[in-house]
A and B are shown apart, each in its own frame.
Chain A
Amino acid sequence: MVKITINGSEYEVEADLTILQACEQVGVEIPRFCFHERLSIAGNCRMCLVDMERSPKPVASCAMPVADGMVVNTNTAKVQKMRRGVMEFLLINHPLDCPICDQGGECDLQDQAMGYGIDHSRYAENKRAVKDKDFGPLIKTIMTRCIHCTRCVRFATEVAGVPELGAMGRGENTEIGTYVEHALTSELSGNMIDLCPVGALTSRPYAFAARPWELTKTESVDVLDAVGSNIRVDARGPEVLRILPRLNEDVNEEWISDKTRFACDGLRRQRLDRPYLRRDGKLQAASWNEALKAIAEAANGVASASMAAIAGDLADCESMLALKDLMTALGSANIDCRQDGAKLDTRVRSSYLFNTTIAGIEQADAVVLVGCNPRLEAPVLNARIRKRWVAGNFTVGVIGPEADLTYPTTLVGTSAKDLEVIAAGKGHFAKVLKNAEKAMIIVGQGALKGEDGAAVLNLARQAADKLGMIKPGWNGFNVLHTAAARVGGLDLGFVPGEGGLDVAGILAGAQSSTINMVYLLCADEIDTQALGDAFVIYQGHHGDAGAHRADVILPGAAYTEKNATYVNTEGRVQLGRRAIFPPGEAREDWTIIRALSAVLGQTLPYDDLKAVRAKLVEANPNFLNINQTTPAEWGSFGTEGAISDAPFASPVCNFYMTDPISRASETMAHCIETFGKDDERKTGTDG
């Protein structure tokens, strides 16, 4: 701790702070453009100049460490004059196009010019103009507005791990760009839009769509991957216009992936806004009463053992609970939430969680990734692994698909056989893990969805046990999910009951006509062609694969349209909040199932959200701990069995389209046009 005097008051602050951080801690505001907490210090905008005693010149407070006895002034006439001077220089070459600039209203330069600048310009000469760059379909550039803070350059290099941006030229001719023109190949590129303190980098899909003060802001969580990034949904009237990240140090820090941010235009397209009934082989619009009655009629002659329900990747916990309760009331045990067929079960909670937690990655010394590509499956989590790697003394081994994860990796193997070797404590990398104080194993769905999934899970558990990944205060066993609904579904026990069928069993049953009625809750990623002659009820929000096969469509609400609970891959219970109302006659999902239960004569015992949430807690007390993770007990899980030597593959082969929302998104389609062609890892049609 050092003693430092700021504006005449003496404070004690930690010795490793900069003046700017110290000022911030004691509540003194210092304007800045280039400084950002999560990026390295550049010190090139000069906006943070302060007056320091015994220094002949002003000092850049963002780059100056505090020292004992330092006397700093930030509110003197001298400082005011310095700030005015810097501001004037920044504005010399900045265009006066605020009225047509998308950053208007949330622009650091605008705000700080109001706060610290002068009220007129003395500059009469020509301003410089800079050619715009093509950064791809997500980021729109107006480079004349750039003030060369280099936040985007530092973000690309440090956080995203794709060193593609740089400052070319020098002095007045400096331009930010890629030199050789190409779209930025990062799944986190959208964050540069947030980082840009001016309107140089703005959102291309959101261009000229709205002003920030027109938008209703709702704090919610993302469901397009299993990270559960905290987001803010900005809507105007009935439309979600954009999605921004919300700070949560434990989950996404302040980043979100490009899919999370830009897929929101998919919420407006191909929506199911009214119930449909298949009449004469064709889906025709119907009323809610007709649709529910049709289901009741169809259910009449079906034995309970011939009924089945599958919950998809975007389902919320409330609706899964309601559907499970309904199926139980109807006497069917054929329910499953593991669309991809991952061999996870609910006996031991730690067997399906990311136990280390995302923030916990920063304490690890070594990690082995088994059958997953975190860069595509959970870009924000991958950024956390990269952050750990940047900090040094961290080894990453990969068993499975070899890919550029933005940090160096060691290829340990490709299949379950190689995992077996590690689990036996043999081989070089087993030693690395064993010698690490805090080692991690991350098992992806790509390793678990095969026939030998349970055996792979068993091997992964053995590896964790044998290589010392499980110790007091540290659980290094992690499952990386790709679906926002999965952990919630497993927590609720949305898996086959006594003698029940799993997804593969349900599909086989439908083929052989032993399953006659299937309820799809937002389930689009199964092979809908395999549903045979079964009567299919599809509840969801998009006209995707499930809806096309359905006999009855019940229109539900997308994640921005309902108050719903989701559990992320760490087991963190988070609340999504309604930003807009569902379109047309669509309803919140659990209410649909509640209404159907009454028609089927099995009325569910809850009438409002509060009662459903009470039931959630009853089903699993973890639902009490909102926004928290509950450490799960370690246990024995997985089953011994034969393993195959087929190489693992990531379940996400096409990052930009993994779910009904992103598949309906035009922006995501543009991304595939740009990135999909010559990039093998991003081709394919769906996730």
Chain B
Amino acid sequence: MTDVTTKTENPEDFAFTAENMGAAKAVIAKYPDGWQASAVMPLLDIAQRQNGGHLTQAAMDHIARVLDMPNIRVYEVATFYTMYNHKPIGKHHVQVCTNLPCWLRGSDEIMETCHKFLGLDNHESSEDGIFTLTEVECLGACVNAPMMQVGDDYYEDLDADSTLAILSELKAGKTPKTGSQIRRVSCEPVTGLTSLEEQAELRKAKVGGD
């Protein structure tokens, strides 16, 4: 849910760090002169990362200045996309997909596990600031459903146990294995290749996996 009206002006100022400004300039350079506003989405992402996971009004205003566009146009984009957060989020943003393919493959169970283990409802953050749980729409990994995204990483082919294991490791400060949680390479059939077998080794080298 987006916060569509805010009364409090964020007093804190925001400015890109030198490094992020460089990254922003590189993005802006991709677009023709006068069309710098096209860079708004990558810049919002850079700002969100710099800000520790969420956007503030100050950050959006800063981007509007950098891109020479009206503030409101930045607000519109930032409230439209669910990947931009407008409230502080935990260190690990757990986003569970519940759209049709994931749901058919048991996303209810994944969601339930998260609820129970984290003790959080949808859109809630834990008090220690480690976890935020969000139910999201399709993240485009239907082939390995059910799945969830934590931070920038996808965890696929989940069940209650693997979900629990991932969350426990995260809680313990470890880095769980990303990708498919069963013995699947990328998004190949679990039961082994049915075609192009002669290129299996080459593909393995490319996409990783064991």
Contact residues of A with B, CB < 8 Å? 131, 133, 157, 163-170, 173, 175, 177-181
Q: Is the CB of A180 within 8 A of B2?
A: no
Contact status of A164 and B4, CB under 8 A, knowing A169-B80, A180-B9, A180-B57: no
Q: Which of B68-82 contact A (CB under 8 A)?
A: 70-73, 75-76, 79-81
Which of B4, B57, B70, B80 is the one whose CB lies under 8 Å from A163?
B70
Q: Is the CB of A164 within 8 A of B6?
A: no
Q: Is the CB of B6 within 8 A of A181?
A: yes
Q: Which of B111-127 contact A (CB under 8 A)?
A: none
Interchain CA distance A173-B5 in the complex, whole Å: 12
Contact status of A178 and B72, CB under 8 A, knowing A133-B5, A169-B4: yes
The number of inter-chain residue pairs (CB within 8 angstroms) is 56
Q: Is the CB of A179 within 8 A of B72?
A: yes
Q: Is the CB of B72 within 8 A of A169?
A: no
Chain A residues with Cβ below 8 Å from B57 are: 179-180
Q: Is the CB of B76 within 8 A of A166?
A: yes
Interface string of B43-76 (1 = CB under 8 A from A): 0000000000000010000000000001111011
Chain A residues with Cβ below 8 Å from B6 are: 179-181
Q: Is B1 at the interface (CB under 8 A from chain A)?
A: yes
Q: Is the CB of B70 within 8 A of A179?
A: no
Q: Is the CB of B5 within 8 A of A181?
A: yes
Q: Is the CB of A166 within 8 A of B73?
A: yes
Chain A residues with Cβ below 8 Å from B1 are: 173
Q: Is B174 at the interface (CB under 8 A from chain A)?
A: no
Q: Is the CB of B80 within 8 A of A179?
A: no
Contact status of A168 and B79, CB under 8 A, knowing A163-B70, A173-B2, A179-B72: yes
Chain B residues with Cβ below 8 Å from A157 are: 70
Interchain CA distance A164-B75 in the complex, whole Å: 10
Q: Is the CB of B7 within 8 A of A179?
A: no
Contact status of A163 and B72, CB under 8 A, knowing A169-B79, A169-B80, A180-B57: yes
Chain B residues with Cβ below 8 Å from A180 are: 5-7, 9, 57, 71, 75
**Distance between B68 CB and nearest chain A CB, rounded to angstroms:** 11
Q: Name the residue of chain B whose CB is nearest to the CB of A163.
A: B70
Contact status of A166 and B72, CB under 8 A, knowing A173-B2, A180-B57: yes
Chain A residues with Cβ below 8 Å from B9 are: 180
Q: Is the CB of A131 within 8 A of B72?
A: no
Q: Which of B2, B7, B72, B73 is packed against the most chain A CB atoms within 10 Å?
A: B72
Q: Is the CB of B79 within 8 A of A179?
A: yes
Q: Is the CB of B2 within 8 A of A168?
A: yes
Chain B residues with Cβ below 8 Å from A131 are: 4-5
Contact status of A177 and B2, CB under 8 A, knowing A166-B72, A166-B73, A168-B79: no
Interchain CA distance A178-B76 in the complex, whole Å: 10
Interchain CA distance A173-B6 in the complex, whole Å: 15
Chain B residues with Cβ below 8 Å from A179 are: 4-6, 57, 71-72, 75, 79
Chain A residues with Cβ below 8 Å from B79 are: 168-170, 179
Chain A residues with Cβ below 8 Å from B2 are: 168-169, 173
Q: Which of B1-29 contact A (CB under 8 A)?
A: 1-2, 4-7, 9
Interchain CA distance A179-B129 in the complex, whole Å: 27
**Distance between B83 CB and nearest chain A CB, rounded to angstroms:** 12
**Distance between A148 CB and nearest chain B CB, rounded to angstroms:** 13
Interchain CA distance A173-B79 in the complex, whole Å: 10
**Distance between B136 CB and nearest chain A CB, rounded to angstroms:** 14
Chain B residues with Cβ below 8 Å from A165 are: 72
Q: Which of B1, B5, B9 is packed against the most chain A CB atoms within 10 Å?
A: B5
Which of B7, B75, B81 is the one whose CB lies under 8 Å from A166?
B75
Given contacts A170-B81, A179-B57, A180-B57, 9 further A-B contacts (CB under 8 A): A133-B5, A163-B73, A166-B72, A167-B76, A168-B2, A168-B4, A168-B5, A179-B79, A181-B6
Q: Is the CB of A168 within 8 A of B73?
A: no
Chain B residues with Cβ below 8 Å from A170 are: 79-81
Q: Is the CB of A181 within 8 A of B7?
A: yes
Q: Which of A131, A163, A168, A175 is packed against the most chain B CB atoms within 10 Å?
A: A168
Q: Name the residue of chain A whose CB is nearest to the CB of B79.
A: A168
